[in-house]
Amino acid sequence: MTTPIDLTKLPDYLRNQRWFAGKAWPIKAVSVVDHARVELPGGRDFTLAVVEVTYELGHPDRYLLPVESKGEGVQDALDDVEVLRGLFSLIREKRSLPSASGSLQGEWLDTPEGLMALPSPLPVRRLQVEQSNTSVVVAEKVIFKVIRKLEAGLNPEYEVGRFLATKTSFRATPTLLGALQSEGPAGATLAVVHRYIPNVTDGWRYTLDNFRRGPRLTDTFLGELRGLGQRLGELHHAFASSTDDPAFSPEPIHAEDMQRWSASIVGEMGVTLNEASRQFPDLEGRRESLIGHATQLAHVPPSGQKIRIHGDLHLGQVLRTEGDWLLFDFEGEPGRSFAQRREKYSALRDVAGMLRSFDYAEATVGLEGQAAGDRVGPARKAFLEGYRAATRGAAFLPKDDASFNSMLDAFELEKMLYEVRYELQNRPDWVRIPVQALMRMEVRK
């Protein structure tokens, strides 16, 4: 197959795309590593190309480019309604297409949700709010996401979504319906399709609205946060339910796991405090106490199980709709490799992520001028009550409260350190939020 793209135009084209993450680095070269021609009705076609961008420094990146040949240069094919319909049909009809180095395979799950009827011609509309991917709503019933920046191997969002949809009864999520995979040397997940949920509010905005209403949270909202904790507990039960899939089967937590997790947090603390102490010298005085907090984890008697977890849970990863909570976006932390994101871990890591999100909500309304109040403590308490009620006696959790609390504290500390590093790089004005949390942290006796 001949390459259908003018490679000389690609560096400039990529730098002008919102989803291109390499704008800060000089591009050394762009090469096409795979491409496939997709035919459309009326004799038209477009190309799905996987390009590799090599920089003057650092590791190369791969991107998916759906392109049309129109006059000079490169044009994004996803601006064309017929291309959007063609791409969706490729997935729904489970078609297989040859590519230059392998094949493209559409997948549609044979689940009750996947049997929905859709009108013809298909109404499609692109969402304009995203930065890193391209999402398209189909007939207001389905949403498919074209993944722009690719990573080799099984995308956790696809893998987790498929597991939940086909092996569990957990439905408090926009259910996975299908996917587009590239198979061969450039193998990757190119697109995922989910049920579309209209009229939703993301959990972050919903929580901020409630935090802004006064110094105390209403009983109604606290009840809703118990419901959020319950939903997370149900998700963890679903993750722990598999006995026949090695990627999801629970595994016992051993002393070696506790020691490894503890050592990892201590290592992250050294790097983080060395960087943050220049701006916040008082942190240096907390170093020994915080190291003690992390090393406690290594001495907790091992109990419970390692399971697959959400991996990047916070209020922005939940949706509020029709009086209920949905959890979504199972890709995991963007800064970690797919292999790292697929590792099994303690479920309490997800719990810690959500608890930290309440602290961020309080800091945000404080920056807006909201008077200090008693919001974070009750929010944390309600969420934990819901989670513990849903997971009482669960084999994947520590056997006793002391172990539960020590592990949860350590994972909250790990999350705070991650937040400090993230904010130093991306939002320096916000770094004081996790720094203040580190300054407040006390080791349980």
pLDDT of residue 442: 66
Question: Per-residue pLDDT tens for 383-420?
Answer: 999 999 999 999 999 999 999 999 999 999 999 999 99
Single pTM value for the model: 0.94
Residue 2 belongs to some domain of the structure: no
pLDDT of residue 72: 67
Same domain for 374 and 434, yes or no, is: yes
| Domain CATH code at residue 326 | 3.90.1200.10
What does each C-alpha distance from 412 to 89, 353, 407 come to in angstroms? 44, 7, 9
Same domain for 179 and 219, yes or no, is: no
Same domain for 51 and 90, yes or no, is: yes
Last residue of a domain, one of 195, 227, 253: 195
Closest of 162, 239, 231 to residue 193, by C-alpha: 162
pLDDT at 298 over 60: yes
Residue 326 belongs to some domain of the structure: yes
pLDDT at 1 over 60: no
Question: Per-residue pLDDT tens for 283-292?
Answer: 999 999 999 9
pLDDT at 138 over 80: yes
Question: Per-residue pLDDT tens for 177-201?
Answer: 999 999 998 789 999 999 999 999 9
> In whole angstroms, what is the distance from residue 191 CA to residue 172 CA?
21
Q: Domain range spanning residue 73?
A: 7-195
- Residue 120: Cβ-neighbour burial (10 angstroms; 0-12, 13-18, 19+): exposed
Same domain for 191 and 235, yes or no, is: no
Residue 445 belongs to some domain of the structure: no
pLDDT of residue 445: 40
Same domain for 136 and 262, yes or no, is: no
Query: In 3-state terms, what secondary structure has residue 25?
Result: coil
Question: Considering its fold, how many domains does the chain have in total?
Answer: 2
Average pLDDT over residues 337-364: 96
pLDDT at 75 over 90: no
Q: What percent of the chain has pLDDT over 70?
A: 97
pLDDT at 444 over 50: no
Question: Per-residue pLDDT tens for 215-235?
Answer: 999 999 999 999 999 999 999
Same domain for 293 and 413, yes or no, is: yes
pLDDT of residue 396: 98
Same domain for 183 and 309, yes or no, is: no
